[in-house]
Structure 1
């Protein structure tokens, strides 16, 4: 019954995207059917074919190695604060874990590895191959197909660097597709970080994050073409180029990757500090209101009620939908990092294994208000002539990115 519920949710989420879209008569049912088929087939191949699943299982070993390497660096630099041997007896289990010194530095290592893989020309052929597949199967232009494929590995600002010369030429639908692709995925620099949090709760968590990143490309294209359909015969193509992040040497790549990772790390730390403080203040104000149902009103509780029906559509039992809805609300208003941290603290009584897996996919995207500011700033700088249109599509891209990740969650729910 839960699988049938998820199947109904797939259709319901597509209907919500259509209702929230513009120029509804222009939506191509043929393109929607092909997009849905590609999304489902991609999920089947990645999740159900034993050889593919086994190949993705090796990703967890790679993640463990990267985490161990990072721990070696943090323990050397920060001592016991970074995970080194404690100079005293530990009295409270878990009290020796310090997020900023032990987990978050993984972002630095992943930033360097990503930059090196681009400089060594390992990732660009993979990205181009994905772009070719998206262009042939979903009928999108080569430029936006490349940007969507690059979002599998890169963030919402880094991926459009691949097509920077073409941003001014994109149609409105193509521009929205680029924005939705950024909102419906996460960067490789944080993928390992999130997998580290959820590894104790979800088997092969790292593999599922990689699958979610790949699945996000066709899902984002599907949702974006429903919400802002293409009305022009023009498809932006052009020769595919490497992003401007490429360095002049291996050492230069390490230096640039470290600098970029440090900026990202500091932004994450600052945003976490500020957002957690703001949530505390909001909850303190809401706590002044009369209690409802024997408990105080909180932001998480309100968001849980709003997002609970969406979580039910993905295939979660209703008693668990409110808890899951709170996670989705936290992810949308704050960011996915805080939501994944909250998920990692939940016991099996709050969410069962199937529900936790669905939520891993549903929250695997940058669709939140803080990311919107980053995207508008980045794309506006790369395409100043389109700044007004980018601003106009901003809030809609949060909706489309959220619907795309929820669609992934529902598809996974059908298969589990």
Structure 2
């Protein structure tokens, strides 16, 4: 299983980067995805007027958050029509046959490519109460190693800016990373907690047919409401975390750095990449070695290490905002930008442990203890999976 999983990950990476026909098709899919997301601008302009255009510069609340609402609406409609389930079933069938996984493991891993870490488990809701520890580990790791379609749309919006070519490029990276992370998550989770030898593996694929909506309009209305909640949560989360980071940086840079003379030392030693003794600088020092191991040029390791640290300690949204700033400032080389984009593509942060324990635990209260005990291991496994994908992407760049 381990060898096949890594092989699947590598083959997909080679196909989308080195095989011209496949790369062209995937690029067209990404371009279509970007065009699809652009439709949200029409709704945003109707509600917010010129605030949703570039006339006032980039305004996150009016240009990124509406994209999340729009994508959530369409996803709910596709789920009601059964389209999303068919795509998930096809990917799950491939994983089940090639990696000898149980049906619920395959379905949840495939579902995580498109859905969030609390939505994908609903595909296998009837099976969660009887899952083994290994299957639960696989479920949790898959959720943390991938990202939901709604937030992926948000990342494309602010990483690509207002340039359609750049949006298509980052859509290709993010879609590729989400797909490649699925087999990687399975591999690492099975290495950490293998399945019991005497347990019979049921490879039967059976997606839960539970659809909470009465018709397509009801489904899309629910999707819009859920998208609004997600967008508000993202906005509130960013507001809170960025404010907390600013407060910590005032303590570190404005007081400690000034008193000990560390700010000028940091600025000179990093050639201005960091403006002083800050949380971002400290995280960069802690995670610098990991950035180097996955193939980042040494001169960029401190900056990319800082992004890896922000993703793990805070969340990937804050990290991607940092990457967008570094990209705009020309801080990183093109290869480092690619590696960082792949490495940050996942929900592997400490808050995800609580999200999954609460979300999946509400579906299967009897598994609450196992979920809590597996949380840190799943976070470790998901982080390694994301770094594996980034390493392959860097090697193929």
TM-score under structure 2 length normalisation: 0.90
2:249 to 280, 283, 305: 283
Provide the residue aligned with 1:65 in structure 2. Answer: 35
The yes-or-no answer on 1:294 pairing with 2:265 is yes
TM-score under structure 1 length normalisation: 0.86
**Is residue 367–residue 401 contact of structure 1 (8 Å, CA) maintained in 2?**
yes
The yes-or-no answer on 1:231 pairing with 2:196 is yes
1:339 to 319, 343, 347: 319
Deviation at 1:62, TM superposition (A): 2.3
Higher helix share: 2
1:212 to 177, 182, 197: 177
Provide the residue aligned with 1:111 in structure 2. Answer: 72
Provide the residue aligned with 2:120 in structure 1. Answer: 159
Provide the residue aligned with 1:405 in structure 2. Answer: 386
Q: CA RMSD, aligned part only?
A: 1.8
Instruction: Please give the alpha-carbon distance, in whole angstroms, between the structure 2 residues aligned to 1:240 and 1:266.
Output: 34
1:4-403 matches, cutoff 5 A = 31-83=1-53, 95-199=56-160, 204-232=169-197, 233-242=199-208, 244-245=210-211, 247-287=213-253, 288-289=255-256, 290-292=260-262, 294-295=265-266, 296-347=276-327, 349-403=330-384
The answer to which of 130-139 and 45-54 deviates more is 45-54
**Is residue 169–residue 236 contact of structure 1 (8 Å, CA) maintained in 2?**
no
The answer to which of 284-293 and 38-47 deviates more is 284-293
**Is residue 153–residue 188 contact of structure 1 (8 Å, CA) maintained in 2?**
yes
**Is residue 34–residue 168 contact of structure 2 (8 Å, CA) maintained in 1?**
no
Deviation at 1:349, TM superposition (A): 4.3
By relative contact order (CA 8 Å, sep 6+), the higher-ranking structure is 1
User: Please, which runs of 5 or more residues in structure 2 have no aligned partner?
Assistant: 267-275
Provide the residue aligned with 1:17 in structure 2. Answer: none
Q: 1:33 to 1:238 in 2, by over 3 A?
A: closer
Instruction: Please give the alpha-carbon distance, in whole angstroms, between the structure 2 residues aligned to 1:254 and 1:125.
Output: 19
Q: Deviations over 1:33-59 (max 9, x none)?
A: 222222211222233222221111123
- Partner of 2:58, secondary structure, is coil
- Partner of 1:400, secondary structure, is helix
Deviation at 1:237, TM superposition (A): 4.6
Q: Deviations over 1:391-414 (max 9, x none)?
A: 111122121111111100001111
User: Please, which runs of 5 or more residues in structure 1 have no aligned partner?
Assistant: 1-30, 87-94
Instruction: Please give the alpha-carbon distance, in whole angstroms, between the structure 2 residues aligned to 1:60 and 1:215.
Output: 16
**Is residue 156–residue 182 contact of structure 1 (8 Å, CA) maintained in 2?**
yes
Deviation at 1:203, TM superposition (A): 6.1
Runs of 4+ in structure 1 over 3 Å off: 200-203, 236-239, 242-246
Instruction: Please give the alpha-carbon distance, in whole angstroms, between the structure 1 residues aligned to 2:302 and 2:30.
Output: 30
Instruction: Please give the alpha-carbon distance, in whole angstroms, between the structure 2 residues aligned to 1:229 and 1:165.
Output: 22
- Partner of 1:105, secondary structure, is helix
- Number of residue-to-residue matches in the alignment: 377
Deviation at 1:131, TM superposition (A): 0.8
**Is residue 82–residue 101 contact of structure 1 (8 Å, CA) maintained in 2?**
yes
